[in-house]
Amino acid sequence: MAQAADVLVVGAGLAGLIAARDLTAAGHSVLVLEARDRVGGRVVNQDIGGGKIVEMGGQWAGPTQDKLYALAADLDVPTFPTYDTGKKVLHFGGKRGTYASTIPRINPLVIADIGQAQARLEALAKKVPTDAPWTAPGALRLDGQTFETWARRNTFSRGARTLLALGAEAVFAAEPGDLSMLHVLFYSHSGGSFQKLIDTTGGAQQDRFAGGSALIGERLAARLGGIIRLGAPVTRIAVAGGGPTGSKVTATTGAGQFEGRHIVVTAPPLLAGRIEYEPALPHWRENLTQRTPMGSVIKTQVIYDEPFWRNEGLCGQATGDGEGSRVVFDNSPQDGSPGVLLAFLEGDEARRLSREPLEVRRRSVIDSLVRYFGPRAGKPEDYLELDWQQEKWSGGCYGTLFGPNVWTRYGPALREPVGPIHWAGTETSPDWAGYMEGAVRSGERVAAETAAAMG
């Protein structure tokens, strides 16, 4: 006999766990169906010994992410600042330099060019309604071009276009040509501004969580008790009935069948579209899921006996236009031991190196760290990686990519329920879409929506 509850929740990431928390608090019975053998979704820790961890998925919080900070505080998961003391490194056009401000020491004409382009981007972003980007002024024109096309039309120098491309890789784990310009503007406004998305102190990378961000999901799941079913990937959702008696929803999983009155699907659109639905979803929802790939990223952690770069007056943050990692952070534990450099492989570089053997990837990452931090970076004690492109139950990271004409043609399908089927996940949040904050907000929104539908 199938297990039953008022609401079934697909996915035990932050969105699903928050939805389950709020629905349970409202007096409804809930079952959470999770494909993996753990909770957390795109948030996961990895043990490095000595009671210390590195974060292999989502990890940061920043100003205005109030829901995430409040949740962490409620679960007794304190924060600490991302190491941001000292100079940053930029390896650009074959030359290495360091800088202390937000503006690197490169050709002043390139700086002026990138400055005017970003100012234009920020002004446009403010005009995009984050709850309905397709209604923005000039939405069709903006959505009909890629970020790459816009950058070519709005910059004068190759250097400025390269810097914008580095920004796109850092924020989206994608290339400018993968992204609708309207999506870039929506995403920027969703997080406050494009500058906030790329900043550390005062931006989206400001704080980390003591013990790792995965503790948030783990402690929230512990509070929910026995309502979570791990190893239960949902392969089919069938809806029967309706009318005055309501609907019956049946979810088929690898761990059996589950029944409910409503179901909340928190998987990103790409994975939600791989579930079989009976009856079939409306074509507008199907078309959305066919056009929403995930970003491409390999997250690597390179471990040293100590954070040697700090003694050299460097904060451990680096970026560059060469091969290997183009975005690096100091990811050492709170007490500074051992030293850890977090090196991202993103976009085309992630796709290229994902097809190579581990040793080739490792060498490429370490070579890039040597470019940034000198010979000592070439002698790490350990190297860890997680290729999110290979994660079956994520499909990629950091989040969903909207290419040209997706928002304006299919945007309303992102959140609009289909009968008793409701959609959540960080991609559906108007605020901080793509971030842990967005996941929490989407869980709260969908719980209220579902509870209202049940009366």
pLDDT at 82: 98
| Cβ-based burial of 195 (10 A; exposed 0-12, middle 13-18, buried ≥19) | middle
Cα–Cα distance list, 98 to 95, 199, 320 (Å): 10, 16, 12
Judge whether residue 306 has pLDDT over 70. yes
Tokens of residue 455, six digits: 């009366």
Tens of pLDDT, residues 8-27: 999 999 999 999 999 999 99
Whether 309 and 355 share a structural domain: yes
Range with the lowest mean pLDDT among 52-66, 175-189, 232-246, 260-274?
232-246
CA dist 414 and 407 (Å) reads: 9
Whether 124 and 185 share a structural domain: yes
pLDDT at 108: 87
pLDDT band, very low/low/confident/very high, at 93 (cuts 50, 70, 90)? confident
pLDDT at 97: 92
- pLDDT (mean) for 118-122: 97
Pick from 77, 79, 82, 109: nearest CA to 93: 109
- pLDDT (mean) for 409-413: 98
Whether 252 and 171 share a structural domain: no
Residue 403, domain member (yes or no) = no
pLDDT band, very low/low/confident/very high, at 245 (cuts 50, 70, 90)? low
Q: Scan for tokens 């179901």, then name that residue.
A: 263
pLDDT at 100: 86
Whether 219 and 276 share a structural domain: yes
pLDDT at 104: 73
The CATH number of the domain holding residue 247 is: 3.50.50.60
pLDDT band, very low/low/confident/very high, at 133 (cuts 50, 70, 90)? very high
Residue 406, domain member (yes or no) = no
Residue 261, domain member (yes or no) = yes
Residue 397, domain member (yes or no) = no
Whether 113 and 172 share a structural domain: yes
8 A C-beta contact, residue 221 and residue 17? yes
The CATH number of the domain holding residue 174 is: 1.10.405.10
End-to-end C-alpha distance for the chain, whole angstroms: 27
Whether 345 and 367 share a structural domain: yes
Whether 231 and 256 share a structural domain: yes
Pairing mode of beta strands 30-33, 228-229: parallel
pLDDT at 244: 57
Residue 152: count of CB within 10 angstroms of its CB: 13
Q: What is the mean pLDDT of the chain?
A: 96
* Number of domains within the chain: 3
User: Across the strands, what pairs with 422?
Assistant: 264
Residue 312: count of CB within 10 angstroms of its CB: 13
pLDDT at 103: 67
SS3 of 228, please?
strand
CA dist 162 and 155 (Å) reads: 10
Which domain range does residue 113 map to? 107-197
Residue 409, domain member (yes or no) = no
Residue 99, domain member (yes or no) = no
The CATH number of the domain holding residue 331 is: 3.90.660.10
pLDDT at 243: 63
pLDDT at 190: 98
Q: Scan for tokens 């997080």, then name that residue.
A: 191
- pLDDT (mean) for 366-388: 98
Whether 258 and 313 share a structural domain: no
Residue 225, domain member (yes or no) = yes
pLDDT at 76: 98
Whether 257 and 342 share a structural domain: no
| Cβ-based burial of 367 (10 A; exposed 0-12, middle 13-18, buried ≥19) | middle
Tokens of residue 411, six digits: 């945007």
Tens of pLDDT, residues 27-38: 999 999 999 999
Judge whether residue 204 has pLDDT over 70. yes
Whether 269 and 316 share a structural domain: no
Whether 319 and 277 share a structural domain: no
Whether 131 and 190 share a structural domain: yes
Residue 73, domain member (yes or no) = no
